Amino acid sequence: MIGPLIRAAGGVVWRPASLPNGEATVEVAVIHRPRYDDLSLPKGKLAIGESDLEGAVREVLEETGFHVRVGRPLGETRYDKSTSGGSRQKVIRWWAMQAEEGAFSATREVDELHWLSLAEASAQLTRASDREVLERFARGVAPSRTVLLVRHASAGSASSWEGDDRERPLDECGIDQADELVRRLSRFEVGRVVSADVRRCADTVAPVAEALGLAVEPEPLLGEVGYPGREEEAVALVRHLGDVEVDAIACSQGDVIPDLVWRLAAADGFALDEPIRSAKGSTWALTLEAEGNLVAADYLEPPRPSVCGGDE
């Protein structure tokens, strides 16, 4: 194998359906690609500088015609792809995605889209790796929501700020990160935005709240002052943000997020990689079942605008 990894992303696109007896179920989108004459889940290569999640949403829209509500992460698949000079490994990251508005139109790359039951899709998908992703999706079809736990964007150094640290503003890098987060976080069906009562937290999520027509609600439990001693209250808050119809954004601080994520995971027996990362401007996409149990946790790296350089 030679050459760099080929990075790609895609989704299991689904919509509600009913069985003949009226029982609720789901259908998933399977596409036909004439170039390969195969039946596949929608996916594609990332553009230069594009994040996995943004690439997945873009590819799904291009190949199916549907805007989607991003759901829980479905991991990745890997396989070797033959090239003229040998082979390269292709890595594809996946998400569950509920189809919303849109309509399919045939193109040169995708000429058919079929809505199939899980069993039909599994039987007809050409590639074994696609069937593996579909199986992951099928193991967690229950209604869920996503809480987007965001660490505030870059705000310079506390030692160089002479005023009240709670009023320390975003720096140039942080302002650009906050603007970039609008595109990322609006991929979810956000209906509520809460933030630690700290300026740099509120300013991080203010642009996305404005874009969605929402207010930023101050929440002291998410701050480094209000969190200690009230950790379980903060856990309960996160469990009850959003519902099966809408997701939520919660902005917090670096000394809170790792402990909060750990407590959620430990209480629900959900295995996490250690240590729990929390770079400035990063997001934990926490998937919760209707009753509030954690079923998936996906760490999204922070946006890296050019003004940020390579530092966190």
Q: What percent of the chain has pLDDT over 70?
A: 95
What's the CATH number for 6-138? 3.90.79.10
* pLDDT surpassing 70 at residue 310: no
DSSP state of 141: -
Average pLDDT, integer, range 33-45: 96
**Residue 2: predicted pLDDT:** 58
Q: How far is CA 309 from the centre of its chain?
A: 24
Q: Where are the domains of the chain?
A: 6-138, 144-308
Q: What's the pLDDT tens digit per position in 8-33?
A: 999 999 999 998 888 889 999 999 99
* pLDDT surpassing 50 at residue 193: yes
Lookup: tokens for 253: 């601080």
Q: What's the pLDDT tens digit per position in 208-241?
A: 999 999 999 999 999 999 999 999 999 999 999 9
Q: What's the pLDDT tens digit per position in 132-186?
A: 999 999 987 667 889 999 999 999 888 888 889 899 999 999 999 999 999 999 9
With tokens 């050019």, the residue in question is 306
**Residue 311: predicted pLDDT:** 42
Q: What's the pLDDT tens digit per position in 85-122?
A: 667 888 999 999 999 999 999 999 999 999 999 999 99
Confidence of residue 312 (pLDDT cuts 50, 70, 90): very low
Q: Which amino acid is at 208?
A: V
What's the CATH number for 144-308? 3.40.50.1240
Give the CB-side neighbour count of residue 3, counting CA atoms within 13 A.
Answer: 14
DSSP state of 3: S
Main-chain dihedrals φ then ψ at residue 234, nearest 5 degrees: -65, -40
Mean pLDDT (the chain) is 92
Pair 36, 119: CB distance under 8 Å? no
Ramachandran quadrant class, 64 (left: phi over 0; alpha: psi -120 to 50; beta: rest)? alpha
Lowest mean pLDDT among 39-43, 113-117, 297-301, 306-310: 306-310
**Residue 306: predicted pLDDT:** 67
Q: 144-308: same fold as 6-138?
A: no
pTM of the entire predicted model = 0.85
* pLDDT surpassing 70 at residue 72: yes
- The Cα 67–Cα 61 span in angstroms is 6
Contacts of 115 (CB under 8 A, 6+ apart): 15, 17, 27, 28, 29, 30
CB atoms within 10 A of CB 23: 8
| Cis peptide bond N-terminal to 275, omega within 30 | yes
Element (H, E) at 295: strand 294-300
